[in-house]
Amino acid sequence: IILAVSGLASGLSIAIVMLTGAKWGGLSSVIPTLAYVLTVSGAMHLVNYSRTPGKDRMLFRMLRIGWKPCLLSALTTAAGMLSLCRSEFPAIREFGVYCACGVVASLACQLLLLPVFIDWLKPAHLPPVDENTKSLFLDVLLPRSKATTLFFLSGSALAGIGLIYLRSDLEVERNFSADADVMRDIAWLENHIGPVEQTEVVVTFRGVDSQGFDRRLEGIAEVENALTQSPDIANTLSVASWVPGEPRGSSLAATAKRSAYRKVVQHLRSDLSVTPYLRIEGDAELFRISTRFPFIGPANFKRMKLDVPQIAKSTLAKEFDDSEFTVEHTGVALLYNTAQDDLVADLYRNFAFAFALICPLMMIVLQSVGRGLLAMIPNVCPAVIVYGLLGWCDYPIDIGMAMTACVALGIAVDDTTHFMLRYRDLENSLIDGARPALRIAFHQCSRAMFHTTLITGFGLAAFLFAALAAMPRFTGLLIALITVALCCDLILLPSLLNLLPRNSIRAEQRETPAVEPR
């Protein structure tokens, strides 16, 4: 039943994308898998709640205990996904919206279908949860709560220093493995024909007409010649590449040739304007110069971004006044390089926004500002640790890896929500106070938390062997994040809760017998 309902949620997430007319992109293929594993995760917790002792029907017991944590987990997960909508990258924004829609489909399947089907079958093989809360793990952990908490927080702080060195890399070739067909084809083209990667330089002359076109064309040719001297540029292409150079010499014949040449070039102006390399708009001429460099191999975009327009400006300044022309450097390759400068900042902004959305929800759910903040510690530490280690290792991130932090935060907060709500309910209902509540909540939730992380990890592992190299990086990082999050939920969170002072008012109410009125 769990697998069937999760498959339905996965199908609904695909249908939402298709019915809205959106394009199915590379990272979109992760959306149904996320919907699938989130449904499995919630279903595991619901089934775990059904094993709680009680005289009511299994259907009502599952919903009575599980509706609130499932709903709140979905809200926090959707908030984490929707935080991606603030990104400056359209692919990330679209991914966040459809992931949030997949979370809603997952919640509907969890609460509307799963309990009904399980109650309908009335499985007799689900034994009640063992109420024996003795745990060797907790017996070792809880007396060392201070040392454990200090270890996690100091380790997170040390790893977090690596965030300073975190960098991004959006080179397209990183998205494909070296033995992919497209990479072999590009390698053959560059070895036998020439470089295929390019940027564009647009030189605009304003307040001009056909007179002096030969002079401006010669200036473009000089810019091309200067650009090819740069170590980053292999060759260039412009309308000047198709027109022979102006004749040189001081003889009478050379002078006559130059005069004839200039007249021919002026007549060529209208013919050249039909090409993609010259555009005439009123009294303005826009010359396009394509600069070529190797696609395979590292390119120094930062140096190219500064040097190319500077070379063009300094070359034209020898013949033209600065007010006569403007130079712009653009192109898809340059766009990727410019975007990667903002990618790390985009990661920090999105994660901070996700935290700002989820933290108040946790405070409202737990009815405590302090416990809401405490519950966020095990969910922030995984991102700090994993991304900090990437910074220490100088491993660059791409668009998929940049959005993984918010996705992982949304997934990891599920287990924290289930654990904290169960702990709060038990703390309010048990006479003995908070310490037994912590043991019982851990005993009831830890197995489901471990199983959901295991299932989620195996579900995402299917993408580790994808041909598109960006997909294994995205899923590998996500698996690492949820694994660290599980360790934080099972080790750090109980240690933090064990360090909390016992609520004295609640304790007095439990321990002081009621006085009968006279």
By the 10 Å C-beta count (0-12 exposed, 13-18 middle, 19+ buried), 268 is classed as middle
Residue 245 φ then ψ, to 5°: -65, 160
Distance CA 369, CA 466 (A): 43
Q: Tens of pLDDT along 25-46?
A: 666 777 887 788 788 888 888 8
Question: Which residue would you say has higher pLDDT here, 468 or 232?
Answer: 232
Question: Which residue would you say has higher pLDDT here, 337 or 111?
Answer: 111
At 161, the pLDDT band (50, 70, 90 cuts) reads very high
Distance CA 346, CA 399 (A): 10
CA torsion sign for 303, 304, 310, 315 is positive
- Please list the alpha-helical segments (H only) found in 289-393: 301-316, 332-366, 369-392
Question: Residue 72 has which token pair?
Answer: 């709140």
pLDDT at 509: 40
Q: Tens of pLDDT along 488-517?
A: 999 999 999 988 876 533 443 444 444 444
Question: Which residue would you say has higher pLDDT here, 408 or 130?
Answer: 408
Q: How far is CA 81 from CA 30, 100, 115, 358, in A?
A: 13, 6, 26, 11
Contact status, residue 254 vs residue 248, Cβ threshold 8 Å: yes
pLDDT at 430: 65
Tell me how far apart the terminal alpha carbons of the chain are, to the nearest angstrom: 59
Q: Give CA 192 to chain center in angstroms.
A: 37
Query: Which residue is listed with tokens 């909390």?
Result: 500
pTM: 0.73
Q: Tens of pLDDT along 121-154?
A: 766 555 555 545 456 788 888 889 999 999 999 9
* Cβ-proximal residues to 497 (8 Å cutoff; 6+ apart), any chain: 374, 423, 434, 438
